[in-house]
Amino acid sequence: MNADLHCHSVVSDGTLQPEALAARAKANGVELWALTDHDEVGGQQRARAAAREIGLPYLTGTEISVTFAGVTVHIVGLGFDADDEALRQGLAATRGGRDERAREMAAELAKVGILGAYEGALRYVGNPDLISRTHFARHLVETGVCTDTSDVFRRFLVEGKPGFVPHRWATLRNAVQWIVGAGGLAIIAHPARYKFTPNEEYALFTEFKAHGGRGVEVVTGSHTSAEAVRYAGAAREFDLLASRGSDFHSPDESRIDLGGLPPLPVGLTPVWEALEARIQRAT
């Protein structure tokens, strides 16, 4: 099945509206879709309604920012009740420090002569609660400081580079419990991105499972084909369900379009088998 269970709208750091994403997913042959905005469920109603209108099966989604072993890890939640109060409060607390962090990032960039970055980034922000590094990246590209967003994340905004501000996000335990408590399924997003040592990665997978986490992204826009093979192995080793999602943000920036990923490697159980009862279809 062409499931695409990871992407972003203007409600976080994507450039398209939820309705445009639904239409794009449908046009690209997606058969099961989820909008997974960072630390937000504010786009869920619109995404679900748009999907229903065009006959595209839908799962609720979000991508929670977590600090684990001093590193930012992303946990995708799928198939939860988007009105769950504990989940909503947890997400609100997680995105709470973003504006202050953004002002500090701008102050750090000013030290290397890049002035007005906060105001510049704000021009790209669709949700005032959710200013992110992506919005700064768009501003740095637009003003010619960098050639494209990968250039930004090589030279700025990452540890050891100008504009980086360390930040404490949710705990792994809380993020998984908010999702599970709302009736959803928790998934480790793009594990190859974290550059953990084998011991740290083992700790992440083990603790994630202990808290009730059930899945791992194997095929994602952030993984090479070798990394997909590697995390197919991890899914088997840790007995986790396998997920698949493009992590699409923008037609101009994303390497992989909605619905454009290769299939899951054989021999894995897809997350959507465990989510059958949570899929919303037009009836």
Contacts of 150 (CB under 8 A, 6+ apart): none
Q: Note whether 98 and 132 are within 8 A (CB).
A: yes
Minimum Å gap between C-beta 117 and ligand AMP is 13
249 sits near ligand AMP (criterion: CB under 6 A): yes
Q: Measured between alpha carbons, how far is 201 from 223 in angstroms, rounded to an integer?
A: 16
Minimum Å gap between C-beta 137 and ligand AMP is 6
Minimum Å gap between C-beta 197 and Mn ion is 20
Answer for which of 6, 24, 38, 48 binds ligand AMP (CB under 6 A) is 38
Q: Restricting to residues 185-244, name those near ligand AMP by CB under 6 A.
A: none
Q: Restricting to residues 150-209, name those near Mn ion by CB under 5 A.
A: 189
By 3-state DSSP, what share of the chain in percent is helix, strand and coil, each rounded to 5?
A: 40, 15, 45
Residue in 231, 233, 158, 156 with CA at minimum distance from that of residue 192: 231
Q: Note whether 104 and 118 are within 8 A (CB).
A: no
Distances in Å between the Cα of 123 and the Cα atoms of 42, 81, 223 are 20, 32, 30
In the chain, where does DSSP find H-type helix? 18-27, 44-53, 85-95, 98-111, 117-122, 133-142, 149-155, 172-181, 198-210, 225-237, 271-274
Minimum Å gap between C-beta 4 and ligand AMP is 16
Stretch that binds ligand AMP, among 22-30, 51-59, 114-122, 126-134 (CB under 6 A): 126-134
Count of residues that interact with ligand AMP, criterion CB under 6 A? 10
Minimum Å gap between C-beta 122 and Mn ion is 17
Residue at shortest CB range from Mn ion = 74
Minimum Å gap between C-beta 258 and ligand AMP is 15
Residue 47 or 189 with smaller CB distance to Mn ion? 189
Answer for which of 247, 248, 258, 268 binds Mn ion (CB under 5 A) is 247
Q: What are phi and psi of 186, to 5 degrees?
A: -95, 140
Give which of ligand AMP, Mn ion, none residue 150 binds (C-beta under 5 to 8 Å, depending on kind).
ligand AMP
Maximal C-alpha separation, the chain? 57
149 sits near ligand AMP (criterion: CB under 6 A): yes
Stretch that binds ligand AMP, among 23-31, 46-54, 148-156, 203-211 (CB under 6 A): 148-156
Residue in 165, 231, 147, 240 with CA at minimum distance from that of residue 193: 231
| Residue ranges that bind ligand AMP, judged by CB under 6 A | 13, 38, 65, 132-134, 149-150, 153, 249
